[in-house]
Structure 1
């Protein structure tokens, strides 16, 4: 959990406590408010201490229980500030993957320099439709979200128009394992590797691959994107982190630069892609 996210959650908790203390009919105890809301008293405590992230429904119940239903809009605005930093998948994917892809498309339209690191799969900006569909299908199963893989694929593929925009630059790093992960049928991965092979020579793309045999200064951990060296997006199993405080962004830039020292490019990158393809055809 990032420090700025926790600070925002604690600030929301402070505001909740103010509403309870300043209830129109007189100060409410946590027990009294919990009874009105139909909650356990411990929930009141967790919300006010910033130990639990409220839902919009929680905030409406809290404001109503305090006799100040008009405060719900203010509270929900504060919640949006919290969620601008940590966006749980269970909420983002309530309507499927397409909406998430469209949100990323907006970010791509507004940025010109992209740095990306991916240790486990081919980056979305370089995915073929069949490969992307396999990814979305697997994640829908994991997150138990609506299955809209075809619509999500169309949104993701639309983003790839940016690869042909001379005003944009993509500096991408991948772990060799991403070339070999069978998250899809072998035939789909073969076509994906052919697509990746062609991306190595694109004017707007600098694609580096870190071989399994490379010496590393840091572990090849979680994937992330950096937009214009000002915002970072990190995907975890439970949420997507949007990070824009300068110290954290600088940490990710240092991480990216450190990983880059172990990457190979051009003909050497082609060699790794071809080796992964040969391994599949030999199966």
Structure 2
């Protein structure tokens, strides 16, 4: 089962560091000798070798040049860039607002044929209504202190979500039952979102499962993750998005999805849980003076 969503990014960075240190040893250099050849402070080579500091492209070129291994620099730089792209802070992604992030990921959504999504905290983006998305993105913007482009970002999210209704795409989605009750928008918007789930789950290309509160867990609740075919998994944490492309890690997340799907309910039972949540919203509204 997946342990930490950061594991792949950390492992990739560690692999780059280990390879650089191996090149140094093959060249018969000490860390101090390498630092001197590169014109660095003596601790820099050590920090890079221990994966405490990520090397820049120029750091890798200097390291390989100092070790007489210039022919290995290009591959190491490519691997390092891939490792860095695995873990991207939300603040960095949203530094100009959220609209561009949705537009940037549109090609990924359009080329994906089979989506497998596990949501432990929110309704997945491609199933969100405009009002639900507005409440959510407003909270994210306020929390992160990033530029306010909520209206444009919501529209970009809805444009991206057209893949549910257009093209040849299949969606298998699992929601923890708690998602039906988390109030990231007002009661009317939340009720509208739940009714939309009832509508969308009737589509032939959509399979929506709900994992009940009372389910006997064979897999513990995980961070939300999105699997795009068998090529990529995006894992969402509070501070960052982790993009996983290593085949072994992808297989682990797909295994987790399959196990979670077995403890979920589908069809009539899933609809009953959504209708129950709508009823609770109505009761709470009636109780409000």
Q: Please give the alpha-carbon distance, in whole angstroms, between the structure 1 residues aligned to 2:166 and 2:259.
A: 28
1:152-202 deviations in Å (ceiling 9; x for gaps): 111110122111135110011101100100111112111111111111201
2:40 matched to 1:33?
yes
- Deviation for aligned residue 1:110: 1.2
Q: Over the residues paired in the alignment, what is the CA RMSD in angstroms?
A: 3.1
2:100 equivalent in structure 1: 99
Kept in 2: contact 1:13–1:47 (CA 8 A): no
Residues 28, 248 of structure 1: alpha-carbon distance in 2 compared, 3 angstrom cutoff = closer
Q: TM-score, normalised by structure 1?
A: 0.81
Point out where structure 1 has 5 or more consecutive residues left out of the alignment: 35-40
Aligned residue in 1 for 2:266:
265
Kindly tell me the number of residue pairs found equivalent between the two proteins. Answer: 264
Q: Secondary structure at the match of 1:275?
A: helix
Tell me if 1:7 matches 2:8: no
1:170 has 2:171 as partner = yes
Q: Deviations over 1:39-76 (max 9, x none)?
A: xx65664234322346xxx667x69999x9xx9x9797
- 1:177-256 equivalence runs, <5 A: 177-256=178-257
CA shift for structure 1 position 8? 3.9
4-13 or 258-267, which deviates more: 4-13
CA distance in 2, matches of 1:208, 1:169: 14
User: TM-score, structure 2 length as denominator?
Assistant: 0.79
Residues 105/9 of structure 1: CA separation in 2 closer, same or farther (3 Å cut)? farther
User: CA separation in 1, counterparts of 2:61 and 2:96?
Assistant: 28
Deviation at 1:261, TM superposition (A): 0.9
Q: CA deviation at 1:32?
A: 6.0
Instruction: Report the Cα distance in structure 2 between the residues aligned to 1:30 and 1:142, rounded to whole angstroms.
Output: 46
Aligned 8 A contact 1:8 1:81 in 2: no
Deviation string, structure 1 residues 131-167 (Cα, Å, up to 9, x no partner): 1122112222333322221121111101221111351
Deviation at 1:109, TM superposition (A): 0.9
Call closer, same or farther: CA 1:42–1:277 in 2, change over 3 Å. Answer: farther
Q: Which has the higher contact order (CA 8 A, sep 6+)?
A: 2
Q: Is the 8 A contact 1:208 1:269 kept in 2?
A: yes
5+ long unaligned stretches in structure 2: 1-5, 285-289
Structure-2 change in CA distance of 1:182 and 1:31 (3 Å): same
* Residues 36-47 of structure 1: pairs in structure 2 closer than 5 A: 45-47=46-48
Q: CA deviation at 1:248?
A: 0.8
Residue 108 of structure 2 aligns to a residue in which SS? Answer: helix
User: 1:190–1:277: 8 Å Cα contact kept in structure 2?
Assistant: yes
For 1:228 and 1:64, the matched residues in 2 are separated by: 35
Aligned mates of 2:169, 2:13 — CA distance in 1: 33
Residues 89-133 of structure 1: per-residue CA shift (max 9 Å, x gap): 232222221222123222111110011000111111110111112
Q: Which residue of 2 aligns with 1:282?
A: 283
**Is the alpha carbon distance of 1:168 and 1:65 closer, same or farther for their aligned partners in structure 2, counting shifts above 3 Å?**
closer
1:140 and 2:147 are equivalent in the alignment: no
- Partner Cα separation in structure 1 for residue 112 and residue 60 of structure 2: 39
CA contact (8 A) 1:112 1:169 kept: yes
**CA contact 2:16–2:80 (8 Å) conserved in 1:** no
